[in-house]
Amino acid sequence: MTNNMNKLTDGVRWILLGAWLVFPCFAWAQKPSPAGNDVSETETRTAGVNREYQPFLASAQTFVDAYTKRDASAIGNMFTADAEFLDEFGELTQGREAIVALFENVFENSLNATIDEIAIERIRKITDRVVMEEGTVFSTESPGKAQLQSRYVALHTLEKDGKWRINSLKNMPASAAKRKEQLEQLNWMIGDWVNENDDSVVHTNCDWSADGNFLLRRFTVQTRDGKAMNGIQRIGWDPARKKLRSWTFDSQGGFFTGLWTRHGQRWLLNSTGVTADGETVTATSIYTIHDAEMVTWEYQNLIVAGDVRENMEPVRMVKRPPPPARSPK
């Protein structure tokens, strides 16, 4: 980051250093495990969960992974041979083979559709071999489209091989997620974060606005040569464009606006701005979430006052732990 940033004017450096720190989230069912970490994502997510319910959280992850890979057979293996699937359109599909064929058809005709999150809300034991699961599926038809949500109810059966499989799955009609639910895609960014390198130290804090309609992120930048800048960013749902949108303002007088789009396990921010010196800036920022504690960021297609700049290598930001609690006097 240092070499590339040093080639930019102060105004562009300020606005990039401030703007890159607004990072989105993947829902828990889609976060990849950190590189080099021996603990699987499933183990991380199920830590602290009642042991008898852990297989169903793992199953949600398996479904999301199989959908992302367009693996209809893997999805079929999650169902019993005589399973029933009632989709959000009221169409009933019976039998594992028919369910596999159904998803093969879905993948063939919906190339860009994604399942962003499976949020399990209730798990109830019916018998020793039957468990009911309820929750919400969050999905997107294609990049740039509004996120959809659909309630579901699943009955899992414990089979002779010791594996829990879905015997009955019912999806309710899908509807567009509301403003707050759209924004909640980014809610893991809430908290205190820091990036430190040879060039600068950046601190940021993010929280909900009082009315709950926006995420507000305040940042400070301190360079090694003694310069300082601060700013604020507001992130909201744009109902006209059906996209998450951000507005950034820094203390030097520069500002940015951008639109967010999810692509698999990455988010792209296409943004435009003006520095305090009057230089126009456009760029595509790529954000990759590694886990709840770290995100990497890089920019591409950076154009400053009509001049195309080289791309940069990824840099990272880590979450700061909360301060230790004061011991009673």
Residues pairing with 140 in the sheet:
114
pLDDT digits over 184-202, tens only?
Answer: 877 777 888 888 877 778 8
Q: Which residue from 132, 169, 131 is spatially nearest to 152, judged by alpha carbons?
A: 169
Contacting residues for 184 by C-beta, under 8 A, at least 6 apart = none
The answer on pLDDT for 19 being more than 80 is no
A 10 A CB-CB count for 144 gives: 15
CATH code: domain 30-177 is 3.10.450.50
pLDDT digits over 25-72, tens only?
Answer: 222 223 333 333 333 443 334 333 466 778 888 899 899 999 999 999
The answer on pLDDT for 240 being more than 90 is no
The answer on pLDDT for 124 being more than 60 is yes
Q: Which two tokens stand for residue 100?
A: 């596999």
Q: How confident is the model at residue 76 (pLDDT cuts 50, 70, 90)?
A: very high
Write phi, then psi, for 169 (nearest 5 degrees). -135, 125
Q: Give the integer Cα–Cα distance in Å for 277 and 271.
A: 18
Domains 2-27+182-319 and 30-177 share a fold: no
Between 40 and 173, name the one with better pLDDT.
173
Alpha helix segments (H runs only) across the chain? 2-6, 10-19, 41-46, 54-69, 72-76, 96-109, 179-183
**What residue ranges do the domains of the chain occupy?**
2-27+182-319, 30-177
pLDDT digits over 198-211, tens only?
Answer: 777 888 889 999 88
CATH architecture classification, 2-27+182-319 = Beta Barrel (2.40)
pLDDT digits over 139-152, tens only?
Answer: 888 776 777 888 99
Q: Give the integer Cα–Cα distance in Å for 28 and 149.
A: 16
pLDDT digits over 84-114, tens only?
Answer: 999 988 999 999 999 999 999 999 998 888 8
Q: Give the integer Cα–Cα distance in Å for 312 and 249.
A: 23
Would you state the pLDDT for residue 169?
Answer: 96
Write phi, then psi, for 39 (nearest 5 degrees). -90, 125
The radius of gyration computed from the CA coordinates of the chain, to the nearest angstrom, equals 23
CB 265 within 8 A of CB 30: yes
Q: Which two tokens stand for residue 126?
A: 């019916």
Please state, for a pLDDT cut of 90, what percent of the chain lies above it: 27
A 10 A CB-CB count for 295 gives: 26
Q: How confident is the model at residue 13 (pLDDT cuts 50, 70, 90)?
A: low
Between 304 and 163, name the one with better pLDDT.
163
Q: Which one-letter DSSP state was computed for residue 198?
A: S
Between 267 and 21, name the one with better pLDDT.
267
Q: Give the integer Cα–Cα distance in Å for 177 and 243.
A: 12
Would you state the pLDDT for residue 322?
Answer: 67
Whole-number mean pLDDT of the chain? Answer: 79
